[in-house]
């Protein structure tokens, strides 16, 4: 494990990756003054660093030499809520779903754009630093008042069914994070619906018709193909 010495107020980012080239690349991208960077070259070192450094973001690969990345995520999730962004060459939906279901917050496939990585890091930092959800959530023309159970689009109130409201509230409470189909189905409908993704698709479609300017090209509720949904 290595660290760049920096002032304490900078967000601490831990990179867990066995490829020196990737660590050098992320070092160049992330250590320019906005963040303090720490590195670990395998799963066990990453677990130790997580406990010692208490990072505010973890960027990690799945193909580690000693532990599978999904197992590392599970072990971290046993005691820490730190946002975890997976950076992996694995493109299969099953790999993404396994990582997200284990507790990862986001997934980027290598190679990825620097701008997108930085945007996602900042989004997860904002969310994790918000200890309690704001009673009023605003996103462009969409506003959700959690205290009044009121949703408006362009200042016009939108009538949602109780299920649609709960679905939007779940997405809002995890804004920026990919939620898998199974996670949403379990939270909104319960374990009996885990193998009924059509129920979720129908409700997402209905919700988009009510809150999106153009439901065919949504700006708020984005589909992660084969994986789940994200509110952006």
* Candidates 3.30.420.40, 2.60.120.920, 3.30.470.20, 3.40.50.2300; CATH matching 2-128: 3.40.50.2300
pLDDT digits (tens, 9 = 90+) for 1-21: 444 433 356 899 999 999 999
- Look up the CATH number of domain 136-231: 1.10.10.10
pTM: 0.72
What the block records as the tokens of 116 is: 């997108």
pLDDT digits (tens, 9 = 90+) for 54-68: 899 999 999 999 999
More confident residue, 190 or 31: 190
| Burial status of residue 28 (CB atoms within 10 A of its CB: 0-12, 13-18, 19 or more) | exposed
Is pLDDT above 80 for 167?
yes
pLDDT digits (tens, 9 = 90+) for 43-52: 999 999 998 8
Indicate the domain borders of the chain.
Answer: 2-128, 136-231
pLDDT digits (tens, 9 = 90+) for 82-123: 999 999 998 888 999 999 999 999 999 988 899 999 999 998
- Tell me the C-alpha distance between 216 and 97, whole Å: 25
């Amino acid at each position: 494990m290595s660290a760049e010495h920096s002032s304490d107020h900078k967000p601490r980012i831990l990179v867990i990756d066995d490829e020196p080239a990737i660590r050098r690349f992320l070092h160049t991208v992330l250590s320019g003054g906005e963040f303090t960077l720490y590195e670990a070259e395998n799963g066990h070192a990453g677990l130790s660093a997580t406990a010692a450094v208490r990072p505010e973001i973890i960027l990690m690969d799945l193909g580690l030499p000693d532990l599978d990345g999904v197992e590392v995520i599970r072990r971290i999730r046993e005691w820490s809520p730190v946002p975890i962004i997976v950076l992996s060459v694995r493109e299969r939906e099953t790999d993404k779903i396994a990582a997200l279901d284990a507790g990862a917050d986001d997934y980027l496939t290598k190679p990825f754009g620097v701008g997108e990585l930085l945007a996602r890091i900042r989004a997860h930092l904002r969310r994790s630093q918000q200890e309690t959800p704001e009673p009023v959530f605003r996103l462009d023309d969409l506003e959700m008042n959690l205290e009044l159970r009121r949703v408006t689009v362009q200042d016009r109130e939108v009538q949602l069914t109780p299920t649609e409201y709960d679905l939007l509230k779940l997405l809002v409470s995890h804004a920026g994070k990919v939620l898998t189909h199974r996670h949403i189905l379990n939270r909104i409908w319960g374990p009996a619906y885990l193998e009924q993704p059509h129920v979720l698709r129908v409700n997402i479609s209905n919700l988009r018709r009510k809150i999106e300017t153009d439901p065919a090209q949504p700006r708020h509720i984005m589909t992660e193909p084969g994986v789940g949904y994200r509110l952006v």
